[in-house]
Amino acid sequence: MMGLNRRLFLGLTSTIVTSLLLSSRKSQAANSPIKPPRLKPGMGVGIFSPAGAVFDPKNIDIVTDAVKALNLVPKLAKHVLDRYGYLAGKDQDRANDINELFADPNIGLLLPVTGGWGCARVLDYLDYDLIARNPKVLTGFSDLTSLILAIHAKTSLVTFHGPNGLTSWRPDQTDNFHRVLFQGEKVTFVNSPDPDDKNRLMQVKNRIDTITPGKARGRLLGGNLTIISSMVGSQYLPSMDGAILFVEDVSEDIYRIDRMLTHLKIAGVLDRLAGFIFGQCTNCLPGEGYASFTLKEVIEDHIGPLKIPAWYGAIIGHVEPVLTFALGTEVEIDATLGKITMTESAVI
Protein backbone atom coordinates (compact mmCIF):
# COMPACT_ATOMS: atom_id res chain seq x y z
CA MET A 1 0.00 0.00 0.00
CA MET A 2 2.87 2.34 0.90
CA GLY A 3 4.53 1.53 -2.43
CA LEU A 4 1.32 2.30 -4.30
CA ASN A 5 0.96 5.68 -2.56
CA ARG A 6 4.59 6.45 -3.28
CA ARG A 7 4.20 5.58 -6.96
CA LEU A 8 1.00 7.65 -7.11
CA PHE A 9 2.76 10.59 -5.45
CA LEU A 10 5.74 10.38 -7.81
CA GLY A 11 3.41 10.08 -10.81
CA LEU A 12 1.39 13.12 -9.76
CA THR A 13 4.58 15.09 -9.05
CA SER A 14 5.98 14.22 -12.48
CA THR A 15 2.73 15.27 -14.15
CA ILE A 16 2.66 18.58 -12.27
CA VAL A 17 6.31 19.33 -13.08
CA THR A 18 5.78 18.50 -16.75
CA SER A 19 2.67 20.68 -16.83
CA LEU A 20 4.55 23.57 -15.22
CA LEU A 21 7.42 23.22 -17.69
CA LEU A 22 5.04 23.19 -20.65
CA SER A 23 3.17 26.16 -19.22
CA SER A 24 6.44 28.03 -18.77
CA ARG A 25 7.49 27.28 -22.34
CA LYS A 26 4.11 28.42 -23.66
CA SER A 27 4.41 31.59 -21.59
CA GLN A 28 7.89 32.27 -22.95
CA ALA A 29 6.69 31.63 -26.50
CA ALA A 30 3.76 33.96 -25.96
CA ASN A 31 6.17 36.69 -24.87
CA SER A 32 8.46 36.22 -27.86
CA PRO A 33 7.94 39.05 -30.34
CA ILE A 34 5.99 38.33 -33.51
CA LYS A 35 7.74 40.09 -36.38
CA PRO A 36 5.81 41.18 -39.47
CA PRO A 37 7.00 40.40 -42.98
CA ARG A 38 9.31 43.05 -44.41
CA LEU A 39 7.89 45.46 -46.93
CA LYS A 40 8.48 44.86 -50.63
CA PRO A 41 7.67 46.99 -53.68
CA GLY A 42 4.12 46.36 -54.87
CA MET A 43 2.73 45.53 -51.43
CA GLY A 44 -0.58 47.06 -50.43
CA VAL A 45 -0.84 49.86 -47.88
CA GLY A 46 -4.01 50.35 -45.87
CA ILE A 47 -4.58 54.08 -45.39
CA PHE A 48 -6.86 54.57 -42.39
CA SER A 49 -7.99 57.16 -39.84
CA PRO A 50 -7.96 55.69 -36.34
CA ALA A 51 -8.19 58.98 -34.45
CA GLY A 52 -8.93 62.52 -35.61
CA ALA A 53 -11.11 63.26 -38.61
CA VAL A 54 -9.65 64.16 -42.00
CA PHE A 55 -11.41 67.44 -42.71
CA ASP A 56 -9.69 68.09 -46.05
CA PRO A 57 -9.97 65.24 -48.63
CA LYS A 58 -6.87 66.65 -50.30
CA ASN A 59 -4.84 65.17 -47.44
CA ILE A 60 -5.82 61.69 -48.59
CA ASP A 61 -4.41 62.48 -52.02
CA ILE A 62 -1.16 63.64 -50.39
CA VAL A 63 -0.80 60.40 -48.43
CA THR A 64 -1.67 58.35 -51.51
CA ASP A 65 1.07 60.12 -53.47
CA ALA A 66 3.59 59.37 -50.72
CA VAL A 67 2.65 55.68 -50.72
CA LYS A 68 3.03 55.44 -54.49
CA ALA A 69 6.43 57.15 -54.27
CA LEU A 70 7.48 54.36 -51.87
CA ASN A 71 6.63 51.88 -54.67
CA LEU A 72 3.68 50.58 -52.67
CA VAL A 73 0.01 50.33 -53.58
CA PRO A 74 -2.47 52.47 -51.61
CA LYS A 75 -5.83 51.15 -50.47
CA LEU A 76 -8.27 53.39 -48.61
CA ALA A 77 -10.08 52.00 -45.58
CA LYS A 78 -13.86 52.15 -45.79
CA HIS A 79 -14.26 54.85 -43.14
CA VAL A 80 -11.11 56.89 -43.80
CA LEU A 81 -13.16 60.04 -44.57
CA ASP A 82 -15.90 59.55 -42.00
CA ARG A 83 -16.49 62.20 -39.36
CA TYR A 84 -18.14 61.92 -35.97
CA GLY A 85 -17.51 65.21 -34.21
CA TYR A 86 -13.73 65.57 -34.11
CA LEU A 87 -13.27 61.83 -34.63
CA ALA A 88 -12.86 59.98 -37.91
CA GLY A 89 -16.16 58.14 -37.53
CA LYS A 90 -17.74 55.97 -34.83
CA ASP A 91 -15.41 53.94 -32.62
CA GLN A 92 -16.67 50.60 -33.91
CA ASP A 93 -16.26 51.68 -37.55
CA ARG A 94 -12.69 52.85 -37.00
CA ALA A 95 -11.90 49.57 -35.23
CA ASN A 96 -13.51 47.58 -38.05
CA ASP A 97 -11.22 49.33 -40.55
CA ILE A 98 -8.19 48.19 -38.56
CA ASN A 99 -9.49 44.61 -38.25
CA GLU A 100 -10.29 44.43 -41.97
CA LEU A 101 -6.89 45.77 -43.01
CA PHE A 102 -5.12 43.18 -40.85
CA ALA A 103 -7.31 40.46 -42.35
CA ASP A 104 -6.61 41.56 -45.95
CA PRO A 105 -3.85 39.34 -47.42
CA ASN A 106 -2.92 42.04 -49.93
CA ILE A 107 -1.99 44.57 -47.22
CA GLY A 108 1.55 44.70 -45.84
CA LEU A 109 1.47 48.06 -44.08
CA LEU A 110 -1.15 49.95 -42.08
CA LEU A 111 -0.46 53.68 -42.40
CA PRO A 112 -2.59 56.16 -40.44
CA VAL A 113 -3.33 59.50 -42.04
CA THR A 114 -2.72 61.44 -38.82
CA GLY A 115 -3.13 61.34 -35.05
CA GLY A 116 -5.06 63.83 -32.93
CA TRP A 117 -7.16 61.96 -30.39
CA GLY A 118 -9.28 58.83 -30.47
CA CYS A 119 -7.13 55.70 -30.81
CA ALA A 120 -7.73 54.66 -27.22
CA ARG A 121 -11.47 54.59 -27.88
CA VAL A 122 -11.12 51.74 -30.41
CA LEU A 123 -8.98 49.39 -28.32
CA ASP A 124 -11.88 47.41 -26.84
CA TYR A 125 -13.24 46.71 -30.34
CA LEU A 126 -10.10 45.26 -31.93
CA ASP A 127 -9.84 41.55 -32.79
CA TYR A 128 -6.45 40.78 -31.26
CA ASP A 129 -6.54 37.08 -32.20
CA LEU A 130 -7.07 38.04 -35.83
CA ILE A 131 -4.25 40.59 -35.64
CA ALA A 132 -1.86 38.02 -34.12
CA ARG A 133 -2.67 35.57 -36.93
CA ASN A 134 -2.02 38.18 -39.62
CA PRO A 135 1.11 40.12 -38.62
CA LYS A 136 1.67 43.29 -40.63
CA VAL A 137 3.64 46.51 -40.25
CA LEU A 138 1.76 49.13 -38.24
CA THR A 139 3.39 52.52 -37.81
CA GLY A 140 2.45 55.81 -36.19
CA PHE A 141 3.26 58.27 -33.39
CA SER A 142 1.59 60.82 -31.09
CA ASP A 143 -1.97 59.59 -30.37
CA LEU A 144 -1.11 56.37 -32.25
CA THR A 145 0.99 55.49 -29.20
CA SER A 146 -2.05 53.87 -27.60
CA LEU A 147 -2.70 51.73 -30.68
CA ILE A 148 0.86 50.54 -31.27
CA LEU A 149 1.44 49.80 -27.58
CA ALA A 150 -1.91 48.06 -27.08
CA ILE A 151 -1.50 45.79 -30.09
CA HIS A 152 2.00 44.86 -28.95
CA ALA A 153 0.76 44.21 -25.40
CA LYS A 154 -2.13 42.00 -26.52
CA THR A 155 -0.45 40.11 -29.39
CA SER A 156 3.37 40.44 -29.00
CA LEU A 157 3.41 41.86 -32.54
CA VAL A 158 6.34 44.20 -33.15
CA THR A 159 4.83 47.59 -33.95
CA PHE A 160 6.55 50.78 -35.03
CA HIS A 161 6.80 54.24 -33.57
CA GLY A 162 7.25 55.98 -36.88
CA PRO A 163 5.71 58.18 -39.57
CA ASN A 164 2.06 58.92 -40.07
CA GLY A 165 0.90 59.43 -43.64
CA LEU A 166 1.06 63.23 -43.48
CA THR A 167 4.61 63.49 -42.14
CA SER A 168 7.29 65.01 -44.36
CA TRP A 169 8.73 61.93 -46.14
CA ARG A 170 11.94 63.83 -46.84
CA PRO A 171 15.07 61.74 -47.61
CA ASP A 172 16.31 61.30 -44.03
CA GLN A 173 12.93 60.01 -42.84
CA THR A 174 12.33 57.87 -45.95
CA ASP A 175 15.83 56.35 -45.92
CA ASN A 176 15.45 55.29 -42.29
CA PHE A 177 11.98 53.86 -43.01
CA HIS A 178 13.45 51.81 -45.89
CA ARG A 179 16.38 50.51 -43.86
CA VAL A 180 14.21 49.28 -40.98
CA LEU A 181 11.11 48.02 -42.82
CA PHE A 182 12.25 47.08 -46.32
CA GLN A 183 15.84 45.98 -45.76
CA GLY A 184 15.48 44.69 -42.21
CA GLU A 185 18.68 46.36 -41.06
CA LYS A 186 19.85 46.60 -37.46
CA VAL A 187 20.01 50.38 -37.43
CA THR A 188 21.91 52.59 -34.99
CA PHE A 189 20.16 55.84 -34.04
CA VAL A 190 22.02 58.98 -32.97
CA ASN A 191 21.06 62.63 -33.20
CA SER A 192 21.88 63.89 -36.68
CA PRO A 193 23.76 67.19 -37.02
CA ASP A 194 21.57 70.21 -37.64
CA PRO A 195 22.32 72.04 -40.92
CA ASP A 196 22.64 75.29 -38.94
CA ASP A 197 25.71 73.84 -37.20
CA LYS A 198 27.54 73.02 -40.43
CA ASN A 199 29.70 76.16 -40.40
CA ARG A 200 30.10 76.44 -36.62
CA LEU A 201 33.09 75.38 -34.55
CA MET A 202 30.77 73.67 -32.06
CA GLN A 203 27.47 71.83 -31.95
CA VAL A 204 24.61 74.04 -30.77
CA LYS A 205 21.50 72.14 -31.82
CA ASN A 206 20.50 68.49 -31.33
CA ARG A 207 22.75 68.09 -28.31
CA ILE A 208 22.12 65.38 -25.76
CA ASP A 209 22.27 65.72 -21.97
CA THR A 210 23.35 62.56 -20.19
CA ILE A 211 21.42 62.03 -16.95
CA THR A 212 23.17 58.81 -15.93
CA PRO A 213 26.01 57.40 -18.08
CA GLY A 214 26.29 53.76 -19.01
CA LYS A 215 24.98 51.06 -21.34
CA ALA A 216 21.93 48.85 -21.07
CA ARG A 217 20.00 46.28 -23.08
CA GLY A 218 16.28 45.70 -23.14
CA ARG A 219 13.07 45.70 -25.16
CA LEU A 220 12.40 49.09 -26.67
CA LEU A 221 9.02 50.58 -25.76
CA GLY A 222 7.72 54.11 -25.79
CA GLY A 223 5.85 56.94 -27.40
CA ASN A 224 3.91 59.97 -26.29
CA LEU A 225 4.18 60.60 -22.54
CA THR A 226 0.61 61.88 -22.17
CA ILE A 227 -0.78 58.74 -23.81
CA ILE A 228 1.48 56.35 -21.89
CA SER A 229 0.55 58.00 -18.59
CA SER A 230 -3.15 57.63 -19.43
CA MET A 231 -2.70 53.89 -20.12
CA VAL A 232 -1.20 53.01 -16.75
CA GLY A 233 -3.35 50.42 -14.98
CA SER A 234 -4.97 49.17 -18.18
CA GLN A 235 -4.50 45.85 -19.95
CA TYR A 236 -3.16 47.74 -22.95
CA LEU A 237 0.16 48.95 -21.54
CA PRO A 238 2.94 46.39 -22.11
CA SER A 239 5.03 45.17 -19.19
CA MET A 240 7.92 47.53 -18.57
CA ASP A 241 10.07 44.95 -16.78
CA GLY A 242 13.62 45.40 -18.06
CA ALA A 243 12.49 47.71 -20.87
CA ILE A 244 14.20 50.69 -22.45
CA LEU A 245 11.50 53.38 -22.35
CA PHE A 246 11.51 56.49 -24.53
CA VAL A 247 8.97 59.29 -24.18
CA GLU A 248 8.21 62.57 -25.94
CA ASP A 249 5.49 65.19 -25.88
CA VAL A 250 4.27 68.44 -27.38
CA SER A 251 2.68 71.65 -26.08
CA GLU A 252 2.61 70.64 -22.42
CA ASP A 253 3.46 72.88 -19.47
CA ILE A 254 6.46 71.65 -17.50
CA TYR A 255 4.39 71.04 -14.37
CA ARG A 256 2.22 68.66 -16.42
CA ILE A 257 5.32 66.72 -17.54
CA ASP A 258 6.26 66.56 -13.85
CA ARG A 259 2.79 65.25 -13.00
CA MET A 260 2.91 62.53 -15.66
CA LEU A 261 6.40 61.35 -14.70
CA THR A 262 5.24 61.32 -11.08
CA HIS A 263 2.31 59.13 -12.16
CA LEU A 264 4.71 56.66 -13.80
CA LYS A 265 6.85 56.73 -10.68
CA ILE A 266 4.15 56.06 -8.08
CA ALA A 267 2.59 53.40 -10.35
CA GLY A 268 5.91 51.53 -10.25
CA VAL A 269 6.61 51.86 -13.97
CA LEU A 270 9.92 53.73 -13.71
CA ASP A 271 11.38 51.30 -11.15
CA ARG A 272 11.10 48.42 -13.63
CA LEU A 273 13.14 50.02 -16.41
CA ALA A 274 16.63 49.10 -17.62
CA GLY A 275 17.10 52.44 -19.39
CA PHE A 276 15.31 55.70 -20.13
CA ILE A 277 15.33 58.21 -22.98
CA PHE A 278 13.52 61.54 -23.05
CA GLY A 279 13.12 62.81 -26.60
CA GLN A 280 11.80 66.19 -27.58
CA CYS A 281 9.14 68.16 -25.76
CA THR A 282 8.16 70.62 -28.48
CA ASN A 283 6.72 73.88 -27.20
CA CYS A 284 6.79 72.68 -23.59
CA LEU A 285 7.11 75.83 -21.48
CA PRO A 286 6.75 76.69 -17.79
CA GLY A 287 3.16 77.46 -16.89
CA GLU A 288 2.22 80.48 -14.84
CA GLY A 289 3.48 80.02 -11.30
CA TYR A 290 5.67 77.05 -12.24
CA ALA A 291 8.71 78.83 -13.64
CA SER A 292 11.16 77.64 -10.96
CA PHE A 293 11.89 74.29 -12.66
CA THR A 294 13.33 73.68 -16.10
CA LEU A 295 12.24 70.62 -18.04
CA LYS A 296 15.69 69.11 -17.61
CA GLU A 297 15.50 69.57 -13.83
CA VAL A 298 12.14 67.80 -13.68
CA ILE A 299 13.45 64.88 -15.73
CA GLU A 300 16.60 64.61 -13.62
CA ASP A 301 14.53 64.68 -10.40
CA HIS A 302 12.59 61.61 -11.48
CA ILE A 303 15.14 59.66 -13.49
CA GLY A 304 18.45 60.37 -11.75
CA PRO A 305 17.61 58.40 -8.58
CA LEU A 306 16.87 55.30 -10.68
CA LYS A 307 20.59 55.03 -11.47
CA ILE A 308 19.89 53.51 -14.88
CA PRO A 309 21.48 54.67 -18.15
CA ALA A 310 19.42 57.67 -19.26
CA TRP A 311 19.60 60.82 -21.33
CA TYR A 312 17.56 63.76 -22.50
CA GLY A 313 17.36 65.34 -25.97
CA ALA A 314 16.99 62.45 -28.42
CA ILE A 315 15.49 63.50 -31.75
CA ILE A 316 12.26 61.62 -31.12
CA GLY A 317 8.90 63.36 -31.06
CA HIS A 318 6.88 65.93 -32.92
CA VAL A 319 9.94 66.92 -34.93
CA GLU A 320 11.43 66.03 -38.28
CA PRO A 321 12.58 63.57 -39.29
CA VAL A 322 10.13 61.10 -37.76
CA LEU A 323 12.35 58.04 -37.48
CA THR A 324 11.12 54.44 -37.32
CA PHE A 325 11.63 52.60 -34.01
CA ALA A 326 10.60 48.96 -33.54
CA LEU A 327 8.64 48.41 -30.32
CA GLY A 328 9.18 45.07 -28.62
CA THR A 329 12.61 44.34 -30.12
CA GLU A 330 15.85 44.34 -28.18
CA VAL A 331 18.18 47.32 -28.36
CA GLU A 332 21.37 48.42 -26.67
CA ILE A 333 21.67 52.00 -25.52
CA ASP A 334 24.69 54.14 -24.65
CA ALA A 335 23.59 57.07 -22.52
CA THR A 336 26.96 58.81 -22.78
CA LEU A 337 26.78 58.95 -26.57
CA GLY A 338 22.99 59.16 -26.85
CA LYS A 339 22.95 56.06 -29.05
CA ILE A 340 20.29 53.40 -29.65
CA THR A 341 21.46 50.26 -31.48
CA MET A 342 19.07 47.61 -32.74
CA THR A 343 20.45 44.16 -31.87
CA GLU A 344 17.97 42.32 -34.08
CA SER A 345 15.99 42.90 -37.24
CA ALA A 346 12.42 44.09 -36.70
CA VAL A 347 10.96 42.25 -39.72
CA ILE A 348 11.27 38.80 -41.27
Catalytic residue annotation: 142, 248, 318
Q: Which residues pair with 248 in a beta bridge?
A: 224
Nearest to 34 by CA among 184, 151, 122: 151
As to burial, measured by CB atoms within 10 angstroms (0-12 exposed, 13-18 middle, 19+ buried), residue 21 is exposed
d(CA 174, CA 168): 9
Of 150, 145, 178, nearest to 40 (Cα)?
178
The number of CA neighbours under 13 Å toward the Cβ of 120 is: 18
CA distances from 122 to 34, 49, 284 (A): 22, 11, 28
Cis, bond preceding 321 (omega within 30 deg of 0): yes
CA distance linking residue 145 with residue 300, whole number of Å: 24
Buried b (16+ CB within 10 A) or exposed e, 324-336: bbbbbbbbbbbbe
| List of residues 6+ apart from 318 with CB closer than 8 A | 141, 142, 248, 250, 280, 282
Contacts 24+ apart (CB under 8 A), 22-26: none
Closest CA to 333 of 233, 205, 213, 251: 213
Contacts of 152 (CB under 8 A, 6+ apart): 158, 159, 221, 238, 327, 328
d(CA 85, CA 252): 24
Question: 10 Å Cβ neighbour count for 7?
Answer: 10
**216, β-bridge pairs:** 333
Q: Are 152 and 159 in contact (CB under 8 A)?
A: yes
